[in-house]
Chain A
Amino acid sequence: MAKLPVNLTVNGDEHDLLIEPRKTLLAVLRDTVGLTGTKEGCSTGDCGACTVIVDGKAVTSCMVLGVTASGKEITTIEGLASDGELHPVQQAFINTGGYQCGFCTPGFIMASKALIDENPDRTEEEFRHALGGNICRCTGYTKILEAVLKAAEEIRTTA
């Protein structure tokens, strides 16, 4: 299949790539760019494990064709920590035990970050609904919500 030129900025690095039009953004990130932190849990946009941030918005990267992301700024789980410092959302997931097997965790952290950036003042109930597109099978969500609320509070108070 003929490949198309694509220019992606991933975690601040520019990538000029040739991509088959049928490849998803998830496949491009994992197989071409080589960033495997973003996970494939269902390939149908239902589980949220592949969530990345595209131009400031959380998207399920398995539902986006790679070629349509050309020219966009993408942040993946690998791009969240800076200068060796974990992002407050990452630190909160550690401190509260908001992960177990860890497979859904990159998606949850990216979705949470985007939600907190958008509005850190959500209530627990609002965060519960806003995170309804991400599935975790291990934690029962109690400690994830604890993490998200803690991170939101920290980001609110330091902003």
Chain B
Amino acid sequence: MSEYTVVGQTVARVDAVEKVTGAAQYGADVHPPGMLYGKIVRSKHAHANIRSIDTSEAEKLPGVRAIITQDDVPSGRRVFATDKVLYLGEPLAAVAATDPDIAEEAAERIKIDYEVLPVVQDVMEAIKPSAPRLHGDDTKDGPSRREISGQIRTLSRDKENDHSDEISKLEAELENYPDEVYYNISAESHTEAGDVEKGFAASDVVVEDTYVIPRVHQTYMEPHVSVASADSSGKVTVWASTQGPFAIRSGIAGTLGIPLTQINVIGTTMGGGFGGRFGVIITHVPAVLLSQKTGRPVRVQMTREEEFTDGRPAPGCVIKLKTGATNDGRILAREALAFWDSGSVSGASIGSTIRVRGVYKIPNLKVDAYGVHTNKSGTAAYRAPGAPQAIFAGESQLDEIAERIGMDPVKFRLMNMREEGDEVPAGGSEPKVGYKETLEAVADAAGWWDREAGENQGWGVAVGDWTNGCGPGGVYVSVHEDGSVRIFHGSMDITGTDTAISQIIAEILTVPYESVTIRRGDTDSAPYSTGSGGSVVTFTMGNTAKLAAEDAHRRILELASERLNTNVDNLELKDGAVHVISAEPPKSISLGELAAYSLSTTGGPIVGKGSFARQASTPALAAQIAKVEVDPGTGRTRVLKLVASQDVGFAINPMAVEGQIEGGTVQGYAWAMMEEMQYGEEGNINPGFVDYRVPTSADLPTVESVIVEVPAPNGPYGAKGVGEPPITPTLATMANAVKDAIGIRITELPIKPEKVVDALKSNGH
């Protein structure tokens, strides 16, 4: 029996009725009077110099109210391309018109004169000296050259001694690595712990492979949209479908030179985000500019095709990975070299390459990662950004090692998993996390230990780790005269977080969950809140909500102490009333009575305030097992069973937690098996759901979820952020299951049927 009455229980979400009746208001549902429709004019080439932009024909079209280009951006920050476009679909201008069809027609009438340039889409081509260069000075040294150059720098700094001989020797050695000067590099990241060379030398088995993970789109169902309204006083209101209204506010302020107090961002109900809904310039800035220019509200809404060409998807990458282990199953060393496809701007989550270390005791680790420019749109976060890619490589290779040393893949992982107090390679000391419990739970639930596989069937297992983020947030709680409770805050509900916040406050104020209502504010009226990404909300806002409720709780006891004429130490809040402890006959006063009484006191109404910024969070583990059947004729893989467990710390709303596990797992499945943004000479070639397949209910069986609860010390009631971890292991889970079924390791995702058929053919089937 739980010691809690509201948290830990499955409750219907606070937004249940509005979401099943069509009443919830999403971005495109906002329609202020006089609204115009914006349309972005996009490049038709992936790489080209712009000779001229001619808007005259578009201006003549009746209904066109404004056309803007980069000349209209006061800060000069790149919103529209001017002299050069770097990817297909890059914005060049925007139009506002009285009707969406007129806006579209006007956009087509704008004449762009292009001088087409050579295109580079593949990261491994982009790093070569022969590749077209997207930006100026962007060459970097690879790992070996870096090491040698570092030694040269150290020696040159020593002015006391003469090292000229050593230096010239090292300089000559540099010549041995001509391929290690990389071009089109946007960023780099390097980590080292122990000595990998020694680790490999001491290993009985060393496996080396190259893993290729495609660029995929978050594919939230609601395309990007914003509605902006600039009034004659200069005040700007933006209805934005975004994960972070406060970030959008500061982004607009910085780009357009508008004071923060003159911008109000109203976050509309969000039709999915998954990390891809933080961008400022995609629709919000053009909408504000068009509204400023026309004096009317303007909606800028992307089509699904525009989402694919100019969204900010998850980066693809190429990871060269090497792992060494002993015959008795100890992992001794791991080395990674990764190239992340960052697109036209930097921003790919290259730091996540470190996730190849997994949750294992690896004494020697070396990770080198580079972000690479290609002629594609920039990238953004997607559910545990960077982790699914790195973990795909790491967990695929673990199975290869397990196979070579003849160990069961689950046992091999259990044996190498870190325990509390163990050193994390390049990362401090391990806290208490349910790594083994979570893997054991999924193995038991899936029937791993007595698994059977028919012909062409196979089983795969993998684990993935992730740690929720944390950020600043504020919450107010107000108790009304009828005993009901109102919550005010500024974070966007990311599928269930408002419900979790409400549950926490109901728990502390001992009122029924139904009597708590939550009001999400705009940036004008709500306290600051960090964006809803990085699994931060339940951790951050849950803690903030707790503080606010505890603050209200203090005031409630203070009022009751006045009313009941006794010290607060003799009082307890229970079932929505304050009771005098062990009073005979019982003596109590209800929350409603106290709230009514508070209005005539010196101290005033019951208002609780919570403000919170940072606490260390605890890693979470997701462990999954799949059973598949591969049709050797068609190459199609059918999932027979998909079981997902996760250490969630504490499940505040178990049904919502299961929903996160199931949804994340299916997104991981899709990345493994079907999704891939494809690029040709002229950019993205599959910008729609016919060619970019996402899973439907027909593709999958029921996902079985298993909740494991090892409390996080600083989480509210021990809770961890649950949204991101479940996508992290699935790519490898699927690849490992396919390997088990057909005996061939596929290292390049997605595992589409044609790839399986090709693999079988080239292996003599």
Contact = CB atoms under 8 A, between A and B. Distances in A.
Contact of A94 (B17, B22, B666, B703): B17
B333 to A, nearest CB: 37
B221 A137 contact: yes
Given A103-B272, A137-B221, A44 B689 contact: yes
A106 B664 CA distance: 22
B482 interface: no
Contact of B21 (A41, A46, A78, A138): A78
A102 B24 CA distance: 8
A38 B28 CA distance: 11
A15 B15 CA distance: 30
Interface residues of B, number: 58
A136 B221 contact: yes
B26 interface: yes
A63 interface: no
Interface string B352-381: 000000000000000000000000000000
Contacts of A139: 659, 662-663, 666
A48 to B, nearest CB: 9
A22 B104 CA distance: 13
Interface string B659-686: 1001111110000000000000000000
A142 B221 contact: no
A42 B222 CA distance: 9
Nearest to B704: A142
A101 B698 contact: no
Contacts of A135: 221, 689, 694, 696
Interface in B9-54: 10, 12-13, 15-26, 28-29, 31
Contacts of B25: 36
B702 interface: yes
Among B222, B270, B700, max chain A CB count under 10 A is at: B222
Nearest to B705: A142
A76 interface: yes
Contact of A104 (B16, B221, B705): B221
A17 interface: no
Interface in A49-97: 49, 76-78, 80-81, 86, 90-91, 93-97
A129 B271 contact: no
B271 A101 contact: yes
B498 interface: no
A140 interface: yes
Interface in A116-133: 124, 127-129, 131-133
B703 A142 contact: yes
Contacts of B21: 37, 77-78, 80-81, 86, 90
Contacts of A128: 697-698, 700
Contacts of B223: 40-41
B659 A143 contact: yes
Nearest to B702: A142
Closest 3 CB pairs of A and B: A37-B22, A103-B271, A140-B666
Interface of A: 20, 22, 27, 30-31, 35-44, 46-47, 49, 76-78, 80-81, 86, 90-91, 93-97, 99-106, 109, 124, 127-129, 131-145
Interface of B: 10, 12-13, 15-26, 28-29, 31, 100-101, 218-223, 269-274, 303-304, 495-496, 655-656, 658-659, 662-667, 688-690, 694-698, 700, 702-703, 705
30 contacts: A30-B28, A36-B26, A36-B28, A39-B26, A39-B271, A44-B690, A49-B221, A77-B21, A77-B22, A78-B21, A78-B22, A78-B23, A86-B17, A91-B20, A94-B13, A94-B16, A94-B17, A97-B656, A99-B19, A99-B20, A100-B496, A102-B19, A103-B26, A103-B220, A103-B272, A105-B19, A131-B698, A136-B221, A139-B666, A140-B703
Given A97-B10, A103-B222, A137-B221, 18 more contacts: A39-B28, A40-B28, A44-B304, A47-B304, A77-B22, A78-B23, A90-B20, A100-B272, A101-B273, A102-B18, A103-B271, A103-B272, A127-B697, A134-B697, A137-B694, A138-B495, A140-B666, A141-B666
